[in-house]
Amino acid sequence: MKMIIDKQTFEKVVFAAASANVYVFDAIQDRFEQAEHKLFGTVLGSDTDVDTLPVKEDVCRYICLDAFYQAIPGLDLILTDTGFGIVNNQNISPASRDRVESLRVQIQREADYALDCIIEGMTGDDAWSSSVCARLVISSLYYTGAHVRDFAGRPTAIRADLLELRPQISEAEEYIRREISAVLFDHLLEQIRHKSLAEAEIPLVCSLRRAIGFWINKQLPAFRVELANVVNLLEGCPDDFPAYKDSDAYKVKHFEYYKNEKEANEEFKNVLTTYALKQEKPIVIFIDELDRCKPNFAVSLIERIKHYFDVPNVVFILLLNKEQLENAIKGVYGINTDATKYLDKFINFYFNLPKQNKEDHRTQYKIENFIKVTMQKYSFTKSKDNDSFMKWLEYWSGYFSLSLRDLEKCVALYAFAYPTNAAYLLVYFIILKVKQPKLFNMLMNNDIKAQSEAKQQMEDIIKIYMKENNVDEKNIDKSLTFYFDLHNSYIENNFKDFETNYSEYFRGLHIFSIKDFFKSLMRKINIDMER
């Protein structure tokens, strides 16, 4: 049924359109019908009776605002014999483009608010809640701009922002579906449409919306913690969430054999004890990257293996980021949990793996050996170029705090670029590619800001070198000033002095242009290391 909108009603909603004449009102008559058709076709249902709507006022408001929004750009245009002209008289001049656009933004915002009110107002309406339109409109926990404002920390967000964020929201919800089951997720959406969420389900929905907000803002640790809290709530009170208790996700987590877990643990412990006592040396079991696991899994694993910590002649070594694991524990048992005390129940000793120190000869010796072994792994034979690469990689590793994993990536990139007769010059760029890929890519594109950033980084390294070695500027290692001056040459677009000062570095190389030479070096290693 068509909604009747008169001039008085229209101008009451849209103050900016108030006029003594009927020009504006008459100009947008067709727009009313278009706005109404769009609203009923996509949100309310084309067969819906206007008179029975519980949100009739909001519908009228939306139609007026949307019609006016669509009409604004052409309201001051008239068709003349010589083409389009702008309406003007001696008293009133057309508004600037900026003011018109500002008005459109405000009208769009108000129209979006009205649409959100319509959707929320229709939830609980039996006929609409069971309709196809309802399932399409509320197919996500984020179905209004208000959800983005309230749960994603974006106070000015409107429906346009919601639509823009839809891919990220869908990603988060797909992850959530796997964790809490698609059955429960769809049940919650159905309850929202009918405005019939159970008391226990209301905080659950709020937590899920907060989790989605964390995902949108790329706060993945917070997302995982919030989702872990949701799972703990479901697991702690499954009877309050029958849709979850009846789901496959719940059944998978509660296999029948868990009932016999105690007996199974004892049997395995006896077998392990018998085996371990027969060994001359202790059995050492390494568990790496426990902090990277899902919080529930990490905590569950610790609580399971604790049964075997007192087995004689067996030692467990856990390699982990202690702070991250403690956050996982708090995510499972609550933010107020003393995670350090919890871990102390299981772990006897903590050892911090030292960071690389270029002044520590023992560390350097280990680094040198690791590089040699890695080079052999990639089938590199002894040669002048390969020896040069190893020497300079070891040299730079301390300044850039390269981990063993970083060093292996560096060797892999060198293998990709091999053969080259400028290995000693390539090392620096390989390290940037591995440690600072964003900066590397910007340098590839000859970004001057990136050149300045890299220059500043080298300046900081030089200062550290001067302080640690107690030398002045005249006695600085030339290999450090080399890259400082190189970046400066790109900034100033002048390589003449640089080529003169560092001529020995290029001896034996056939170089027509220093600038292009280094670009070619970087292109040799321009591959995606993540792949």
Evaluate whether residue 18 is within a structural domain.
Answer: yes
Long-range contacts of 238-247 (CB under 8 A, 24+ apart): 240/198, 240/200, 241/184, 241/200, 241/201, 241/204, 243/181, 243/183, 243/184, 243/187, 243/188, 244/180, 244/181, 244/183, 244/184, 246/183, 247/181, 247/182, 247/183, 247/184
Residues 371 and 488 in one domain: yes
Evaluate whether residue 28 is within a structural domain.
Answer: yes
Residues 331 and 366 in one domain: no
Residues 72 and 100 in one domain: yes
Put residue 402 in one of left, alpha, beta given phi > 0 → left and psi -120 to 50 → alpha. Answer: beta
Count of other CB atoms within 10 angstroms of residue 295: 25
- Which of 207, 226, 253 is the last residue before a domain boundary? 253
The domain total for the chain is: 4
Indicate the Cα dihedral angle 162, 163, 164, 169, nearest 10°: 70
- HSE of 528 in the Cβ direction (CA atoms, 13 Å)? 2
Residues 512 and 421 in one domain: yes
Q: What is the pLDDT of residue 364?
A: 63
Residues 264 and 249 in one domain: no
Residues 377 and 478 in one domain: yes
Q: What is the pLDDT of residue 3?
A: 73
Residues 370 and 486 in one domain: yes
Count of other CB atoms within 10 angstroms of residue 504: 8
Q: What is the pLDDT of residue 4?
A: 78
Tokens of 440: 């590397």
Q: What is the pLDDT of residue 96?
A: 61
DSSP string, 16-37: GG--SSSHHHHHTHHHHHHHHH
Residues 270 and 242 in one domain: no
Q: What is the pLDDT of residue 236?
A: 83
- Which of 202, 218, 253 is the last residue before a domain boundary? 253
Tokens of 146: 């208000």
Evaluate whether residue 351 is within a structural domain.
Answer: no
Evaluate whether residue 349 is within a structural domain.
Answer: no
Evaluate whether residue 131 is within a structural domain.
Answer: no
Evaluate whether residue 404 is within a structural domain.
Answer: yes
Structural domain range at position 87 = 7-124
Q: What is the pLDDT of residue 35?
A: 87
Q: What is the pLDDT of residue 529?
A: 47
For the CA atoms of the chain, what is the radius of gyration?
Answer: 34
pTM of the full predicted structure? Answer: 0.46
Q: Of the candidates 152, 75, 66, which has an alpha carbon nearest to the alpha carbon of residue 113?
A: 66
Question: CA triplet 524, 529, 531: central angle to 5 degrees?
Answer: 120
Cα–Cα dist 190/88, whole Å: 54
Q: What is the pLDDT of residue 191?
A: 94
Count of other CB atoms within 10 angstroms of residue 431: 23
Evaluate whether residue 350 is within a structural domain.
Answer: no
Cα–Cα dist 321/325, whole Å: 6
Residues 54 and 110 in one domain: yes
Low-confidence ranges of the chain (pLDDT < 50): 1, 77-86, 90-91, 93, 257-258, 361-362, 529-531
Evaluate whether residue 531 is within a structural domain.
Answer: no
Residues 381 and 511 in one domain: yes
Which residues neighbour 101 within 8 Å (Cβ) at sequence distance 6 or greater? none
Count of other CB atoms within 10 angstroms of residue 480: 19
- HSE of 170 in the Cβ direction (CA atoms, 13 Å)? 6
Q: Of the candidates 408, 386, 378, which has an alpha carbon nearest to the alpha carbon of residue 529?
A: 408
Residues 383 and 467 in one domain: yes
- Which of 294, 313, 344 is the last residue before a domain boundary? 344
Render the burial of 436-459: b for 16+ CB within 10 Å, e for the rest. Answer: beebbebbbeeeeebbebbbebbe
> Any bridge partners for residue 288, and if so which?
319
Give tens-digit pLDDT for 342-365.
Answer: 888 878 888 776 555 555 544 566
Cα–Cα dist 219/227, whole Å: 12
Residues 115 and 160 in one domain: no
Question: CA triplet 318, 319, 321: central angle to 5 degrees?
Answer: 115
Q: Of the candidates 159, 146, 70, which has an alpha carbon nearest to the alpha carbon of residue 109?
A: 159
